[in-house]
Amino acid sequence: MILITGGAGFIGSHTCVALAACSEPFLILDHFGNSRRSVLERMGRITGMVPPCIEGDIRDAGLLRRIFAQYPITEVIHFAALKSVGESVREALRYYDNNIAGTVTLLQAMRAANVRSMVFSSSATVYGDPASLPIREDFPLSATNPYGQTKLMMEQVLADTSASEPGQWRIARLRYFNPVGAHESGLIGEDPQDVPNNLMPYVAQVAAGQRPCLSVFGNDYPTPDGTGTRDYIHVMDLAAGHVAALRYLRQNMGLLTVNLGTGRPVSVLEMVRSFEKASGRPVPYAVVARRPGDVAQCWADPGLAERLLGWKAELDVDRMCADAWRWQNGMARSLLEESALAAH
Ligand SMILES: NC(=O)c1ccc[n+]([C@@H]2O[C@H](COP(=O)([O-])OP(=O)(O)OC[C@H]3O[C@@H](n4cnc5c(N)ncnc54)[C@H](O)[C@@H]3O)[C@@H](O)[C@H]2O)c1
Ligand SMILES: O=c1ccn([C@@H]2O[C@H](COP(=O)(O)OP(=O)(O)O[C@H]3O[C@H](CO)[C@@H](O)[C@H](O)[C@H]3O)[C@@H](O)[C@H]2O)c(=O)[nH]1
């Protein structure tokens, strides 16, 4: 059985659906700090069974001990983390505590229970401002904010843990590029609890009429249309990458580090046009100043993942927008209305 920390979140919920589709048993551990309990029932509508879930915190060593004692856990996929760059600058200690202390507590509990296999959510943020493109796994690493720093530090913790007991650990550090989109059912998707920081959920809310206008952060970058480019990857492709990593670890001992991206850069304006096409709605935008800390361009060389895992992203940006729109215009809208009613 696979323990999925943060399995109720955006990427975790989609990965659970992918695991259920290949009959892999799993157990979710999530404290619902950045997700809704109702996601479990919606996942159940997709898979035919509400997934088993324990509500709790990865920093709770006693709870982890009980989980490892009670369930036949053999592997862990570790999504649980705080992920907002801006918030991490203002609340640095909360980020270090949740992300670093949480991961160390989890690894200690795993070791005590003799479970030494983990798939870990890292991020392209560990490459900082890349000197050249596309980005390969052996490029220099750096961090420009506490969130990125926690990812770098956790990567180091995992490398040192693996080295401390040679031949015993199986660890995959998956560096995601920009996960977007939603499950094709429209029942689960990215569900920001606040004003979205990221491009795709913001564009989706503008298309849905929930926000008047997108601010495009700069059109004077050295890119074909002047706006920033990113490697957007469909969340179901990303989910499939986790299944592939899990299978790789079952056959291979040691530490694996791979990019999960498409290898194709997409600009802000290309994304806007694709979303307009998918939704049939206009996405009004205004160009404003660059966002501090943004890099101009970022995209992956995904070749290593293809060679080692036999995995490759399949879904294009039009499909990402179509699925995100189905989610936004249906379930996400009603969840937002429910929250607004509950707040009154
Ligand atoms: N979404 C992205 O753009 C992106 C990009 C690169 C890497 N990542 C990483 O992928 C992982 C998943 O991201 P996501 O987008 O699904 O985020 P998310 O916030 O939707 O999901 C994270 C889940 O973990 C839970 N959680 C957080 N801290 C916890 C704790 N201490 N104990 C128990 N549960 C806890 C939250 O309630 C949430 O359900 C994170 O590690 C994130 O840093 C995300
Ligand atoms: O309202 C918006 C939001 C974003 N953008 C632009 O859209 C692109 C993508 O931005 P965003 O979706 O915020 O992604 P990133 O800036 O690539 O940041 C994400 O990807 C990084 C690398 O993985 C992680 O470090 C961050 O946590 C994660 O938010 C960038 O050019 C932004 O300037 C806008 O123009 N307007």
- Using the 8-state DSSP alphabet, how is residue 135 labeled? B
What does the angle CA 267 – CA 269 – CA 272 come to, to the nearest 5 degrees? 115
Q: Atom of ligand 1 at shortest distance to CA of 8?
A: 39
pLDDT of 338 above 90: no
Answer yes or no: 71 catalytic: no
Query: What pTM was computed for the model?
Result: 0.98
The CA R_g of the chain, rounded to the nearest whole Å, is: 19
Among protein residues, the one whose CA lies closest to atom 24 of ligand 2: 125
Task: Say what the pLDDT of residue 333 is.
Answer: 83
> Considering the chain, what is the average pLDDT of its residues?
97
Total number of domains in the chain: 1
Among protein residues, the one whose CA lies closest to atom 30 of ligand 1: 57
Q: Which of 95, 147, 176, 232 is catalytic?
A: 147
Residues 6+ away with beta carbon under 8 Å from 29: 3, 4, 5, 6, 7, 53, 54, 56, 58, 67, 80
Using CA atoms, how far apart are residues 327 and 48, in angstroms rounded to an integer?
A: 19
How remote is the CA of residue 168 from the centroid of ligand 2, in Å? Answer: 37
Residues 6+ away with beta carbon under 8 Å from 337: none
Q: What CATH number is associated with residue 165?
A: 3.40.50.720
Q: How confident is the model at residue 337 (pLDDT cuts 50, 70, 90)?
A: confident
Does the Cβ of 6 fall within 6 Å of ligand 1? Answer: yes
How remote is the CA of residue 85 from the centroid of ligand 2, in Å? Answer: 10
Residue 53 phi, psi dihedral angles, 5° rounding: -145, 135
Range(s) of the domain holding residue 171: 2-343
Q: Name 175's bridge partners.
A: 122, 259
Residues 6+ away with beta carbon under 8 Å from 140: 127, 128, 131
Q: Which value does ipTM take for this structure?
A: 0.97
